[in-house]
């Protein structure tokens, strides 16, 4: 079968006989090289190597001295439910071309797999001169339309192997941040999957393999590791078409149809430091799909949720506004419950906030509804639609039940679009500067959408988020509960679920920072550590000042977007907020909005207790004691923390105390306490 499919600029190596037997193709100066023999292609770039067999279409990836992916192939599950494996096809030919794209300059290798009576499969590889990753994609090609709900660019039947470590970690990255989900570094024997990105590494040497999806327009993707013997994993899969309880889906992943169907590009890279690998993965995604730009520092101010929850009233907000003004912060943000103020009073309220030289924030949920009945009318639609119309449907046409407390609405339905356009127009007309958007993950659920061209949840989410971006243009957009991907539609995203004042919340927040710090600057301009409550949430007991200070330190480490969360009508709460948030050294660091790196990555479902941030020649180091009763002595190896040798002058940003450290830094922490230190030569 000849499908007339071609690759722009290709150089077909399968149709030419070379003499001598080995043909070396160097497409770019100092770039990747391709060596062709009768039955294989060998591509090299630095310490990265790709070998493809033209006998069976299988491939191997290797990062010299770091990691190896053995005996891999690609697969596609078509509409009849059967998987087609490239290695089962009978002929395999290759084409090579030079490329220059947002990831850099390099080569592209297309390996075309053919078998009579089956659609062609094409496994495509990209290698770049300046990057250690190999990017892999599988395509299914047919003269007649076909469909698929599962594409597997990387199926490592031979498993993967690390060069060091007998008890490697396997990274679990959650699909979204709902329901207080935790990141997890766990053993290979715990079979499961990680969403959009995953990896395995030896924490002692830090050598590891990071892999994940680079395209987020159509598919939900996942990475799986299966079985372990020493430092070798028996099988590894990177695939698109993932659904599970972690994605909160009740319906199977939607199918994609056409004559040419492509999986997302999957990035696979071996690294001497797994942390570099995650940052590089984030950078790749940021280059292909840039973060929504924001000029200026991290937003700082106050958010109403912790202080009063739904009992929001203007006197509470005005007290907070005066506190924000005195602290030199900017934003006064209304969370859920803002409707208590009343539509007629809202413009006056915003004007008053602006008259104080401050900015005002508002709350919304474009993909969720909270009415009591499906027969309730939808706001902004002039009575044309009721909730039953716009709620997402299952594949039998039945309305979805509530998910996470709210009704999931279809981003493509005209009623949803009218409601959102009406809501956003009101936010803009009222003069709001900041929009917190919640329960966004409901817009990415699989189901039957009103627009028949939208067949997957991620397609629907992108559809809806483009209208969100347009409707709120000019405002700071902050996502609360939301998928990690797709990105590029908001300036910030909550790095975790809700966090309050208790030490347990600080630990939970920092679990997300331990394994998700790398999203700052690449996917989102800021990682949002949620409202920083240092005294008490409404209905909860007062925490100690040490505990409150730890909560603030955790916010600085996690992303620095400081929004206070206490009811400052209480004089004791107001006094503590003033004491802690007037520490100019701490606030100056937070304003930069840069997430700290974890020093260790073997903490399972818990947080690391030490984090570091490089600042030119200087460093900032944070240490935490999450124990509620016992004190703790933490010894930090400065070399392992990345500081190198020599003597360091250490300044405690909270107390101002100075000391010196050579080689090892010893930190004594009472229960629930933390330290935030600057180290200078």
Going by C-alpha positions, the residue among 469, 462, 305, 435 that lies closest to residue 364 is 435
Q: Is the pLDDT of residue 13 over 60?
A: no
What is the DSSP-derived secondary structure letter of residue 541? P
Task: State yes or no: cis peptide before 147, omega within 30 of 0.
Answer: no
Q: What is the pLDDT of residue 190?
A: 63
Q: What is the pLDDT of residue 12?
A: 36
| Average pLDDT over every residue of 588-594 | 97
1: confidence class by pLDDT, cuts 50, 70, 90: very low
Question: In this structure, is residue 210 part of a structural domain?
Answer: yes
Q: b or e along 22-55 (b: 16 or more beta carbons within 10 Å of the residue's beta carbon)?
A: eeebebeeebbbbebeeeebbbbbeebbbebbbe
- In CATH, what number is assigned to the domain containing residue 664? 2.60.40.1180
Q: Is the pLDDT of residue 19 over 90?
A: no
229: confidence class by pLDDT, cuts 50, 70, 90: confident
How many CA atoms does the CB half-sphere of 231 hold within 13 Å?
Answer: 18
Domains: count for the chain:
2
User: Which of 240, 263, 288 is the last residue in one of the domains?
Assistant: 288
Express each pLDDT in 429-479 by its tens digit.
999 999 999 999 999 999 999 999 999 999 999 999 999 999 999 999 999
pLDDT higher for 84 or 187?
84
Q: Is the pLDDT of residue 14 over 60?
A: no
Q: What is the pLDDT of residue 369?
A: 98
- Beta-strand relationship, 331-333 and 359-364: parallel
Question: In this structure, is residue 73 part of a structural domain?
Answer: yes
15: confidence class by pLDDT, cuts 50, 70, 90: very low
Cα-based angle 256, 259, 264 (whole degrees, multiple of 5): 50
Question: In this structure, is residue 206 part of a structural domain?
Answer: yes
22: confidence class by pLDDT, cuts 50, 70, 90: very low
Q: Which domain holds residue 632?
A: 608-680
Q: What is the pLDDT of residue 20?
A: 28
Phi, psi of 588 (to 5 degrees): -60, -40
Question: In this structure, is residue 187 part of a structural domain?
Answer: yes
pTM of the predicted protein model: 0.95
Q: Is the pLDDT of residue 2 over 80?
A: no
Q: Which tokens hold the place of 589? A: 């660091």
- In CATH, what number is assigned to the domain containing residue 154? 2.70.98
Q: What is the pLDDT of residue 173?
A: 98
Evaluate whether 278 touches 513 at the Cβ level (below 8 Å). no
**Gyration radius of the chain's alpha carbons:** 26
Q: What is the pLDDT of residue 9?
A: 35
Q: What is the pLDDT of residue 24?
A: 42
Express each pLDDT in 233-261 by its tens digit.
889 999 999 999 999 999 999 999 999 99
Which distant-in-sequence residues (6+ apart) come within 8 Å of 580 by Cβ? 534, 545, 548, 549, 552
What is the DSSP-derived secondary structure letter of residue 388? H
Q: What is the pLDDT of residue 398?
A: 97
Question: In this structure, is residue 546 part of a structural domain?
Answer: no
Q: Is the pLDDT of residue 17 over 80?
A: no
User: Which of 234, 267, 288 is the last residue in one of the domains?
Assistant: 288
Q: What is the pLDDT of residue 188?
A: 62
User: Which of 288, 323, 342 is the last residue in one of the domains?
Assistant: 288
| Average pLDDT over every residue of 339-367 | 97
Q: What is the pLDDT of residue 227?
A: 82
Question: In this structure, is residue 416 part of a structural domain?
Answer: no
Q: What is the pLDDT of residue 300?
A: 98
CA distance 246 to 158: 27
Evaluate whether 15 touches 93 at the Cβ level (below 8 Å). yes
Least confident of 26-30, 524-528, 565-569: 26-30
Q: What is the pLDDT of residue 10?
A: 36
Question: In this structure, is residue 41 part of a structural domain?
Answer: yes
Q: What is the pLDDT of residue 30?
A: 64
pLDDT higher for 13 or 566?
566
Question: In this structure, is residue 457 part of a structural domain?
Answer: no
Q: Which tokens hold the place of 209? A: 């393999």
């Amino acid at each position: 079968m000849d499908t007339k499919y071609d690759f722009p600029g290709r150089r077909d190596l399968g149709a030419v006989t070379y003499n001598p037997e080995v043909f070396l193709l160097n497409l770019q100066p100092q770039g990747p090289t391709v060596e062709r023999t009768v039955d294989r292609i060998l591509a090299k770039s630095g310490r990265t190597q790709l070998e493809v067999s033209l006998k069976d279409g299988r491939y191997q990836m290797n990062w010299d001295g770091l990691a190896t992916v053995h005996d891999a192939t690609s697969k596609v599950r078509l509409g009849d439910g059967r998987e087609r494996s490239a290695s089962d096809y009978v002929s395999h030919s290759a084409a090579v071309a030079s490329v220059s794209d947002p990831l850099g300059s390099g080569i592209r290798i297309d390996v075309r797999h053919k078998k009579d009576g089956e659609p062609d499969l094409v496994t495509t590889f990209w290698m770049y001169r300046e990057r250690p990753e190999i990017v892999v994609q599988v395509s299914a090609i047919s003269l007649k339309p076909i469909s698929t709900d599962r594409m597997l660019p990387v199926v490592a039947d031979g498993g993967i192997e690390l060069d060091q470590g007998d008890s490697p970690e396997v990274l679990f990255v959650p699909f979204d941040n709902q329901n207080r989900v935790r990141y997890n570094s766990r053993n290979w024997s715990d079979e499961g999957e990680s969403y959009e990105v995953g990896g395995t590494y030896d924490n002692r040497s830090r050598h590891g393999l990071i892999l994940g999806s680079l395209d987020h327009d159509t598919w939900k993707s996942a990475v799986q590791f299966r079985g372990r013997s020493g430092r070798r994993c028996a099988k590894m899969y990177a695939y698109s078409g993932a659904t599970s309880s972690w994605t909160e889906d009740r319906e199977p992943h939607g199918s994609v149809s056409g004559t040419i169907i492509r999986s997302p590009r999957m990035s696979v890279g071996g690294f001497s430091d797994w942390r570099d690998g995650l940052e590089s993965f984030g950078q790749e995604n940021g280059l292909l799909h840039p973060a929504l730009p924001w000029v200026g520092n991290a937003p700082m101010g106050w958010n109403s949720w912790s202080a009063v929850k739904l009992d929001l009233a203007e006197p509470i907000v005005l007290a907070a506004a005066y506190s924000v003004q005195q602290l030199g912060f900017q934003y006064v943000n209304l969370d859920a419950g803002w409707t208590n103020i009343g539509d007629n009073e809202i413009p006056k309220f915003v004007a008053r906030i602006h008259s104080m030289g401050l900015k005002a924030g508002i709350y919304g949920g474009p993909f969720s509804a909270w009415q009591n009945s499906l027969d309730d009318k939808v706001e902004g639609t002039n009575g044309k639609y009721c909730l039953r119309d716009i709620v997402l449907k299952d594949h039998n046409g039945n309305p979805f039940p509530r998910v996470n407390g709210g009704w999931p609405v279809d981003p493509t339905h005209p009623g949803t679009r009218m409601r959102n356009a009406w809501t956003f127009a009101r936010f803009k007309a009222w003069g709001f500067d900041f929009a917190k958007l919640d329960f966004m993950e409901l817009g990415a659920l699989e189901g039957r959408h009103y627009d028949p061209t939208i067949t997957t949840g991620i397609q629907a989410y992108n559809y809806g988020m483009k209208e969100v971006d347009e409707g709120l243009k000019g405002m700071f957009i902050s996502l609360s509960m939301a998928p990690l991907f797709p990105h590029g539609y908001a300036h910030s995203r909550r790095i975790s679920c809700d966090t309050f004042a208790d030490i347990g919340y600080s630990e939970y927040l920092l679990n997300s920072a331990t394994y998700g710090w790398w999203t700052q600057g690449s996917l989102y301009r800021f990682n949002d550590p949620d409202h920083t409550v240092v005294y008490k949430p409404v209905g909860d007991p007062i925490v100690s000042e040490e505990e409150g200070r730890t909560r603030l330190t955790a916010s600085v480490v996690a992303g620095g977007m400081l929004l206070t969360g206490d009811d400052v009508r209480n004089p004791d709460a107001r006094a503590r907020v003033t004491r802690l948030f007037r520490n100019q050294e701490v606030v100056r660091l937070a304003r930069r909005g840069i997430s700290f790196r974890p020093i260790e990555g073997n903490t399972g479902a818990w947080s690391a207790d030490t984090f570091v941030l490089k600042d030119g020649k200087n460093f900032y180091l944070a240490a935490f004691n999450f124990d509620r009763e016992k004190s703790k002595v933490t010894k930090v190896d400065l070399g392992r923390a990345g500081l190198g040798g020599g003597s360091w002058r250490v300044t405690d940003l909270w107390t101002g105390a100075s000391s010196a450290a050579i080689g090892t830094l010893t930190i004594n922490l009472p229960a629930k306490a933390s330290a935030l230190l600057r180290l200078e030569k």
